């Protein structure tokens, strides 16, 4: 087994100490940016990046550009991210951009693959309070746990994967749903497939209950609001191996019902782990911005809610009028490639 590969830019003093603690006793190699061609293929990679007060630097821009340009730069790899910021902003922004770029280059991300630290470490306040340890100790422990998970990680496969397709789209007019249904049709027989529409019934968004209240309802996999999210979606997600989330672009964001589903997942995570589940997505934009919605989706469901991000997780397309998607150039070929990739990634 190859050692962990730690890819870094100019490591600051705080991040250096964190890495020394997190990687103690772990076989690893260090690689300073820029990366030579082929260096990140078939490896377990730790992106350990220092971020200045105002965000990006030339090395980070070059990394993103290289990953976006070379579609096989991280083929067969799995990665996590440690991002240490000098200021209070931009750590998550970089993480989402990097995750999408690396994912498009063939990289898998296990669930919750990010430890971020703002300059003040205030982003770790809630966790440190819950763990009853200082902010600095929380940073150390989270980073060590992350690198240990990567070292032990192996992508699961299934004899007959269970797939949940979740959407909030109108069947007669939705380009996104037309693509999702075609994907499922190609997988039918090899996969167990369940489709749930969030248009059925009233969907409440998360009301921001206290942790104590949320935990109380979560004891029975419930939530204050109940409804179809609790009665139908939560059980279906727990029984699935993969989620196919259909995300038409609504004003450079997922739709309200999809966002409500994501927000309500907090209650499910109190007593359940989603680390063993994959997330895929179909993103269709009428004008532009599919990358923004894909970043939002991976940020919410992988970086935050612990689902795995398989390589090239998102099918992205620009299509405006009803029916345009299925008339797009090479769309049948692209859908077939997407479905075949899901089959390879999920089936044993």
Q: Give residue-wise pLDDT tens across range 186-196.
A: 999 999 999 99
Q: How would residue 105 be classed by pLDDT, with cut points 50, 70 and 90?
A: very high
Tens digit of pLDDT for each residue in 152-185? 999 999 999 999 999 999 888 999 999 999 999 9
Per-residue pLDDT, 1: 79
Asked if pLDDT for residue 219 goes beyond 60, the answer is no
Task: Give the span between the Cα atoms of 260 and 273, in whole angstroms.
Answer: 19
Number of alpha helices (DSSP H) and beta strands (DSSP E) in the chain: 12, 10
Tens digit of pLDDT for each residue in 296-336? 999 999 999 999 999 999 999 999 999 999 999 999 999 99
Structure tokens at 10: 């100019």
Summarize the confidence of residues 32-51 as an average pLDDT.
Answer: 97
Residue 200: half-sphere exposure toward Cβ, Cα within 13 Å: 11
Asked if pLDDT for residue 80 goes beyond 70, the answer is yes
Per-residue pLDDT, 199: 79
Task: Give the span between the Cα atoms of 93 and 86, in whole angstroms.
Answer: 14
The alpha carbon of 41 is separated from its chain's Cα centroid by a whole number of angstroms, namely 20
Query: Are the CB atoms for 109 and 311 separated by under 8 Å?
Result: no
Per-residue pLDDT, 216: 40
Query: Are the CB atoms for 105 and 98 separated by under 8 Å?
Result: no
Summarize the confidence of residues 52-73 as an average pLDDT.
Answer: 96
Asked if pLDDT for residue 22 goes beyond 50, the answer is yes
Task: Give the span between the Cα atoms of 30 and 41, in whole angstroms.
Answer: 15
Task: Give the span between the Cα atoms of 148 and 26, in whole angstroms.
Answer: 8
Task: Give the span between the Cα atoms of 37 and 273, in whole angstroms.
Answer: 36
Structure tokens at 229: 């999210």
How many CB atoms are located within 10 Å of the residue 315 CB? Answer: 26
């Amino acid at each position: 087994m190859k050692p962990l590969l730690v890819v870094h830019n100019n490591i600051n003093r705080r991040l250096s100490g964190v890495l020394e603690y997190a990687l103690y006793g772990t076989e690893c190699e260090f690689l300073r940016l820029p990366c030579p061609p082929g260096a990140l293929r078939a490896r377990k990679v730790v992106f350990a990046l220092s971020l200045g007060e105002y965000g990006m630097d030339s090395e980070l821009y070059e990394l993103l550009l290289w990953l976006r340009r070379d579609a096989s730069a991280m083929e067969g790899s799995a990665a996590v991210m440690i991002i240490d910021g000098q200021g209070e902003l931009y750590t998550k922004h970089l993480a989402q951009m990097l995750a999408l770029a690396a994912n498009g280059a063939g990289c898998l991300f296990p669930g919750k693959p990010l430890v971020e630290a703002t300059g003040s470490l205030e982003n770790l306040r809630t966790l440190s309070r819950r763990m009853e340890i200082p902010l600095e100790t929380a940073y150390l422990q989270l980073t060590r746990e992350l690198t240990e998970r990567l070292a032990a990680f192996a992508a699961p496969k299934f004899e007959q994967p269970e797939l949940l397709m979740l959407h909030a789209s109108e069947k007669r007019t939705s380009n996104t749903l037309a693509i999702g249904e075609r994907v499922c049709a190609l997988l039918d027989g090899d996969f167990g497939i369940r489709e749930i529409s969030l248009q059925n019934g009233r969907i409440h968004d998360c009301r921001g209950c206290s942790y104590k209240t949320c935990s109380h309802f979560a004891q029975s996999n419930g939530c204050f609001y109940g409804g179809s999210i609790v009665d139908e979606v939560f059980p279906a997600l727990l029984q699935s191996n993969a989620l196919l989330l259909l995300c038409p672009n609504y004003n450079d964001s997922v739709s309200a019902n999809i966002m409500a589903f994501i927000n309500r997942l907090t209650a499910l995570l109190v007593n359940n782990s989603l680390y063993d589940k994959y997330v895929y997505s179909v993103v269709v934009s009428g004008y532009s911005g599919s990358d923004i919605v894909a970043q939002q989706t991976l940020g919410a469901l992988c970086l935050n809610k612990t689902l795995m991000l398989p390589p090239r997780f998102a099918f992205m397309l620009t299509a405006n009028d009803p029916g345009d998607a299925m008339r797009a150039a090479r769309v049948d070929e692209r859908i077939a490639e997407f479905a075949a990739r899901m089959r390879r990634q999920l089936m044993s």
